[in-house]
Structure 1
Amino acid sequence: MAAPRPPPARLSGVMVPAPIQDLEALRALTALFKEQRNRNLDTIGVAVDLILLFRELRVEQESLLTAFRCGLQFLGNIASRNEASQRVVWMHAFPELFLSCLNHPDKKIVAYSSMILFTSLSSERMKELEENLNIAIDVVEAHRKQPESEWPFLIITDHFLKSPELVKAMYAKMSNQERVALLDLTIAKIAGEEPLTKDDVPVFLSHAELVASAFVDQCRAVLHLTAEQPTGDEEALATIRLLDVLCEMTANTDLLGYLQVFPGLLERVIDLLRLIHAAGSDTTSIFSPCASIKAEGDITNVAEGFKSHLIRLIGNLCYKNKENQDKVSELDGIPLILDSCGIDDSNPFLTQWVVYAIRNLTEDNSRNQDLIAKMEEQGLADPSLLKKMGFEVEKRGDKLILKSASDTPQL
C-alpha cells in the first residue's frame, strides 16, 4: 500500500500543494512522452487539470512555476506529430487552457502554451477559434510583447493569415496596437523571400480587401498626429501601417490588379497627399519637411516616409493602367506630385518615388505627357527639376513633347 500523501499546506491564506515531490517524475514523464509508444496512456486530462489548477492558484513560487512549465511541455511533447494525441489535447485544453496561459506574465508559460496551440491547430479547429476570438487576439498580443518568441509568430503566419474569415473577425475586435502587430506580420509574409503560393493568392486578395477598406475609411486619422504628441493617436499609427501594407501588396503582381480597381482607394490617396502636402507648409506640423522629430537621438518621427509611401502607392496604382493615369490627372494629382519633389529628411527616397510615379503616369499616355510639357512652358514645372527626374521638354513645331533626357536621372 502506498504511503499517504501529506496534506496540502497553506501559504498567505491560499491553499497550495505541499512542496512538489513529483516534480522530477513530471520531468521524466515529459521526456518519456517524446517517444511515440508512450503516448496512449489516459493522462492528458489529468495534466490539463493540473495546469489549470496551477493557473488558478496564481502563486509565483518558483517550484510551482517550474511544475506549471513542465506540465505544458508534457502536453506539447505528447501532441507533437501525433494527430490522435492532438485531438485529445484539444478536447481537454480548448479553450480554457489557452485562455488561462496565453496571457500569463511568465514568458515561458506563454511560449509553451503557444507551442501546444501551434501543434494542435488544423483547418477544422481554426473554425473554433472564430468563436473564441480572445484566444486568437491573445496570440497576437503575445507576439507583440515577445516578438522574439517563435511560436506566436508561427501561429499567426502559418495558420491565422491563411484564414481570411478569422483575420477579418480579429481585426474588428483588436486594439490598434494589436492591429499594427498583425499588419507587420502581413508585410513580412508578402515581402518575404518566399513568394506567395497559388493557394496564398486568394487568401491575400481577401486580406487586400480588408486593408484597403480600412484605409479608405480611416486614412484621415493621420491628421490627428501632432509634433508635440507624435505617438499620441494609436488609430493614426495603425493607419500608417495600413499604407505600408498597401505599398507591399501593390508591389505584388497577383494583388495589384485587384487594388487598382478598388473603389475609392486612388481618390483617397490623392486627397490625403494633398492634405499632408498642405500641412507640411506649417513648420510646426509633424508632416513639415523640417519636422524630423527625434527623442534622445534614437526615435525618429513616426510619420517618417508617409508622404513617400503615398506617392509610391499612386505610382503602383497607375502602373500600366490608363484609367488610373487619367484619374490622377483629372484630380490635379500630377502638379501635386511634382510639387512634392524636394529635400525632405523625414521622407527618404522621396525624389525617387516621384520619378517612379511620374514615369508610370506618363507611360503610353500622351495626355499626361502634354500636361507636364505645358506646365513647363507656363513656368509651373521647373525644367531643372524635370531634368533631375530624367525628363525634358522639346518643342516640335507647335507641339511640346515630354521625353526622357539623354543623360541619367540625377536621383
Structure 2
Amino acid sequence: MPPSRLSGIMMPAPIQDLEALRALTALFKEQRNRETAPRTIFQRVLDILKKSTSAVELACRDPSQVEHLASSLQLITECFRCLRNACIECSVNQNSIRNLDTIGVAVDLVLLFRELRVEQDSVLTAFRCGLQFLGNVASRNEDSQSIVWVHAFPELFMSCLNHPDKKIVAYCSMILFTSLNPERMKDLEENLNIAINVIEAHQKHPESEWPFLIITDHFLKSPELVEAMYGKLSNQERITLLDIMIAKIVGEEQLTKDDISIFLRHAELIANSFVDQSRNVLKLTSEPHTEDKEALVTIRLLDVLCEMTSNTELLGYLQVFPGLMERVIDVLRVIHEVGKDSTSIFSPSDSLKADGDIEHMTEGFKSHLIRLIGNLCYKNKENQDKVNELDGIPLILDSSNIDDNNP
C-alpha cells in the first residue's frame, strides 16, 4: 500500500506489525511529530492492543499458554511505548487517546499481567510500559486523571504498590501521585490499605521519589487521612511516617500558612500519642540489647515534638497542650532515676565516641526531653512556673553532668 505521511516523514501504513510500531514509537520522540499525529493512528494502535489482549486473557485462564505469549507481549509492549511517547507534553494526543477508551483497555491489561503472576522479563517489560503510559496520559491533564482514577482505583493500586518489582512500584506510585487531588483523598480514607501500601513502598524503596512525594505532597496535607492511617500502621511504618514528617518540618522550604494550619492538626495527634505512649521507652531498661519498635516510635514522637516546638507558629499550640509538660518531666524523672543504675541503658557515659557513632537508639533521648522542656518554657511564664512546681529545675540541673550519650 502507498505510504502515509506523519509530519513529512514517510512511514508504513497501515500499522500492522512490530516494525511499524517501533518506527512510530521513534517518531513520537519528537514534539513536531506528536503535535501532527492524526487520531486514526491511535485507533490502529488500540486495535492491535485489543487483539493482543486476548492472548493474555487465555494465558490467565490456562497457565500452559504463557509460553506462547512472546509475540503478543512484544506487540503490547510496543503499543504502550508508542502511546506513552505520544502523550509527552501533548494534551491533544492525551485527549484523543483517552476518548478512544484506551485507558480502560490499558488498565484491564495491566491487571491481567498481575493476575498472570509470572516474573518473565517480557511480561515485566510490558507491565512497566503499560504503567508508564497511564502515568503519561494523566500527566497535567485533569480529564485524563479522572478517567484513570475511575478505572484504576482501587484495584490497580492494590495490585501494584506491593509488587516485588521496584520499577512497577515506582510507576504505580507515579500514577497515584499524578491522579490524587483533595477530593480523591477521601477515597483513600475509605481504602486505608492503599495509603499504608505507599508508606510500605517508601520503607522498602527509599530511593524512589514517588512514594515520598505522595506522602509529603498529599498525605501530610490531609490530617484526617494521617490520623485514620496512623492507628493502623505497624510500628515500623509509624517510624517511617514520623521521619518524613520531620523531613518536611526541617526542609529547606519553609512551611506555608496552609502548611501551618495543617501541622497544627498533626501536632494534636503527635502530642496525644506521646502523652499516651511515652512510658513505652522504659521497656528498654528490661531488655537493653533489643530494639523495641514501640519504644522507637516514642523516641520519634519526641523528635517530632522537638522540631514542632522549634517552629514559632506551632510552639504556642503545644505550650498549652494538656498534660504534655507534666508527661515530659515525668519521663525525664523516671529515666534519670533508672540511669543511676550503672548497668542501665540510660546510665551516663563518659567515654568519647567518634562523630556519628551511635551505640543505641536511646542516645540523645534525655537531651531531647530537656530540649522540649526548654522550648515549652520559652517566653511562657505558666510553663516556667509549672516546671518549678513539679521540681523540674533540680532534675534538669542534676542532668547536666558529663554524659556522652546526651551531650
Unaligned runs of 5+ in 2: 1-13, 18-50
Compute the displacement of 1:230 (Å): 4.0
TM-score using structure 2 length: 0.80
Q: Who is 2:82 aligned against? A: 28
TM-score using structure 1 length: 0.80
Secondary structure at 2:129 match in 1: helix
Query: 2: distance between equivalents of 1:301 and 1:125?
Result: 41
> Is 1:37 aligned with 2:88?
no
Asked if the contact 1:231–1:302 (Cα under 8 Å) also holds between the matched residues in 2, the reply is no
CA deviation vs aligned residue, 1:31-58 (integer Å, no higher than 9, x gap): 1122322223320001000110111111
Query: 2: distance between equivalents of 1:112 and 1:47?
Result: 14
Query: 2: distance between equivalents of 1:228 and 1:90?
Result: 48
Residue pairs, 1:231-310, within 5 angstroms: 231-290=290-349, 300-310=359-369
Query: 2: distance between equivalents of 1:320 and 1:158?
Result: 33
Compute the displacement of 1:342 (Å): 1.5
Query: 1: distance between equivalents of 2:352 and 2:83?
Result: 56
Asked if the contact 1:140–1:156 (Cα under 8 Å) also holds between the matched residues in 2, the reply is yes
Which of 210, 228, 236 pairs up with 2:269?
210
Q: Who is 1:63 aligned against? A: 122
Change (3 A) 1:108 1:227: farther
Query: 1: distance between equivalents of 2:336 and 2:232?
Result: 33
1 or 2 for the larger relative contact order (CA 8 Å, sep ≥6)? 2
Compute the displacement of 1:232 (Å): 3.2
Query: 1: distance between equivalents of 2:350 and 2:185?
Result: 46
Change (3 A) 1:118 1:281: same
Write the letter of the residue equivalent to 2:140.
R
Query: 2: distance between equivalents of 1:25 and 1:215?
Result: 53
Change (3 A) 1:293 1:271: farther
Which of 193, 197, 201 pairs up with 2:252?
193
Relative to its length, the structure with more helix (as a share) is 2
Q: Who is 1:143 aligned against? A: 202
Query: 2: distance between equivalents of 1:228 and 1:292?
Result: 22
Write the letter of the residue equivalent to 1:314.
I
Residue pairs, 1:282-361, within 5 angstroms: 282-290=341-349, 300-348=359-407
Between 244-253 and 10-19, the greater mean CA deviation after superposition: 10-19
Query: 2: distance between equivalents of 1:244 and 1:347?
Result: 14
Compute the displacement of 1:200 (Å): 1.1
Compute the displacement of 1:298 (Å): 5.9
Q: Who is 1:106 aligned against? A: 165
Asked if the contact 1:52–1:97 (Cα under 8 Å) also holds between the matched residues in 2, the reply is yes
Asked if the contact 1:177–1:234 (Cα under 8 Å) also holds between the matched residues in 2, the reply is yes
Change (3 A) 1:80 1:66: same
Query: 2: distance between equivalents of 1:158 and 1:218?
Result: 28
Query: 2: distance between equivalents of 1:299 and 1:77?
Result: 44
Change (3 A) 1:114 1:300: same
Identity %: 72
Asked if the contact 2:74–2:122 (Cα under 8 Å) also holds between the matched residues in 1, the reply is no
Q: Who is 1:152 aligned against? A: 211
Which of 191, 194, 216 pairs up with 1:132?
191
Compute the displacement of 1:292 (Å): 8.0
> Is 1:18 aligned with 2:69?
yes
Change (3 A) 1:33 1:235: same
Asked if the contact 1:139–1:152 (Cα under 8 Å) also holds between the matched residues in 2, the reply is yes
Residue pairs, 1:358-377, within 5 angstroms: none
What root-mean-square deviation, in Å, do the aligned CA atoms of Structure 1 and Structure 2 show? Answer: 2.4
Query: 2: distance between equivalents of 1:83 and 1:309?
Result: 45
Asked if the contact 1:118–1:154 (Cα under 8 Å) also holds between the matched residues in 2, the reply is yes
Unaligned runs of 5+ in 1: 349-411
Query: 1: distance between equivalents of 2:313 and 2:59?
Result: 63
CA deviation vs aligned residue, 1:288-344 (integer Å, no higher than 9, x gap): 1139899xx965311110000000000000011111111111111000000000211
